[in-house]
Amino acid sequence: MSGLQTQDRGSAVGDGLPVVTRERGQRQVFCGLAGIVWLHRKIQDAFFLVIGSRTCAHLLQSAAGVMIFAEPRFATAILHERDLAGLADCNAELDRVVAEVLERRPDIGTLFLVGSCPSEVIKLDLAKAAERLAAVYQGRVRILDYSASGLETTFTQGEDACLKALVPELPQLPSGDRSLLVLGTLPDVVEDQFARLFAELGIGPVHFLPPRRTTAFPPLGSGTKVLLAQPFLGETARACEARGAELLSAPYPFGIEGTLGWLRAATEAWGVTGEVLDAVTAPAIARAQRGLAHHRESLEGKRISFLPDSQLEIPLARFLQRECGMDLVEVGTPFLDRRLMAEEMGLLPEGVRLTEGQDLERQLDRLREDRPDLTVCGLGLANPLESEGLRTKWSIELVFTPVHGFDQAADLAELFARPLRRAALLRV
């Protein structure tokens, strides 16, 4: 399949920012349903009811069922082919399935109706269905909808769509109050570490979205400063801004440099001095430096390519190049939101090959020519590339492994060092 290729800098030539090559063509990436894998673990009283096809059910069962071991709080209501006249039956069927789920699971606080891409689902107005069901279950369970269709979302955009659906539900922050809102799913252990650091820095109150339970929604208003923990939440950030919140510009909290820069953005907004920041973070930074030293030995000088997949590529490339000494061969990202990536773009090395979007065949040709030591890609491409003798890392692991913050910096480096060590052992 032929693709399109264009280049731009996004700002004035000579500004030192990397040139971005845009590609359009065939792409290989999960749809937004994948987000349910980590969202259902984080929001403990949420249930995700996917209105979809057998393909959607299969994706969830194989992705979620194989990779996680938790009480599932998701299901797929499979919609068979109907004509428009049959849609009334679909709505009745949906009401019946929702009633059944809620009867069996009285602990559910929020039920998400998740749209997918089969044409029968597109014909169904899920927003109206959510409104109708919300009225029926008012006071007992919140019913929301969002689309994770492969036509509208890729992989991590499913989380963005889910969190955006939560924004109108957040209570109003009283005028004159201020608070920090951290956006993006973080494992509880990482959330607790950040909460402790913010408390030691004298920053607060601090809230996290998504919350662990939907009975404890964070407030939102003009006194809210938003700090993104994940780079793929542009729509949610914009929805928060529409309610008066201010988005803090920061790198993402991967590695020592990213985490320090991320915390610095909050300290500056709160008027906390650099000396306090240095004093509070020094012990964690020393621990992270010790942990990283070991993995740096395996990673230094190794060549890495990222295929566009999770939208985590740019911050991870920055970490691997600046803190682990890796050489960036190509950094592909499915979308580039220049505002959200402003701090990260300036930290990439000059001349790095940065691509936005995908033209799969063309990208694979480049990869085969480059033959990097490690390629970060989706599950679907990993096995074929391994069979060609290329070492790979699954990008989905980076989304549901604790990798944020100082204390996880060494674990993050290890995720990339492990396949290289394994390859070296196999060669021996």
Show binding-site residues.
Answer: 31, 56, 117
Cβ-based nearer residue to ligand SF4, 360 or 412:
360
Q: Which is nearer to ligand SF4, 149 or 375 (CB)?
A: 149
Alpha helices in 68-147 (DSSP H): 87-104, 119-123, 126-136
Two structure tokens written together for 230: 């994940």
By CB under 6 A, name the binding residues for ligand SF4. 31, 33, 52-53, 55-56, 59, 116-118, 149-150
> Do residues 40 and 74 make contact, with C-beta atoms less than 8 angstroms apart?
yes
Identity of the residue, 117 or 417, whose beta carbon is nearer to ligand SF4 in the bound complex: 117
Do you know the residue count of the chain? 428
Helices 313-322, 255-270: crossing angle, 10 deg rounding: 110
Residue set of the binding site for [4Fe-4S] cluster: 31, 56, 117
Taking the complex as a whole, the smallest distance from the CB of residue 150 to ligand SF4 amounts, in Å, to 3
| Adjacency order of strands within the sheet including 46-52 | 74-78, 46-52, 110-115, 142-147
Q: What is the closest distance, in whole angstroms, from the C-beta atom of residue 30 to ligand SF4 in the complex?
A: 8
Q: How far is the CB of 74 from ligand SF4 (least distance, A)?
A: 13
CA distance 269 to 198: 12
Question: Rounded distance, CA 109 to CA 48, Å?
Answer: 11
Instruction: Return d(Cα 329, Cα 304) in angstroms, integer.
Output: 6
Round to whole Å and give the CA distance between 199 and 192: 10
| Residue 116 vs 355, nearer CB to ligand SF4 | 116
CB of 144 to ligand SF4, least distance (A): 18
Decide whether 33 or 324 has the Cβ nearer to ligand SF4.
33
Rounded Cα–Cα distance for residues 3 and 142 (Å): 44
Q: Which is nearer to ligand SF4, 26 or 138 (CB)?
A: 26
Question: Which residue is listed with tokens 């845009």?
Answer: 22
- In whole angstroms, the minimum distance from the beta carbon of 126 to ligand SF4 comes to 13
Closest CB to ligand SF4 among residues 150, 251: 150
What is the nearest approach in angstroms of ligand SF4 to the Cβ of residue 53?
5
Contact indicator for 124, 87 with CB cutoff of 8 Å: yes
Residue 258: left (phi > 0), alpha (psi -120 to 50), or beta? alpha
**How far is residue 225's CA from residue 303's CA, in Å, rounded to a whole number?**
38
**Minimum distance from CB of 115 to ligand SF4 (Å)?**
8
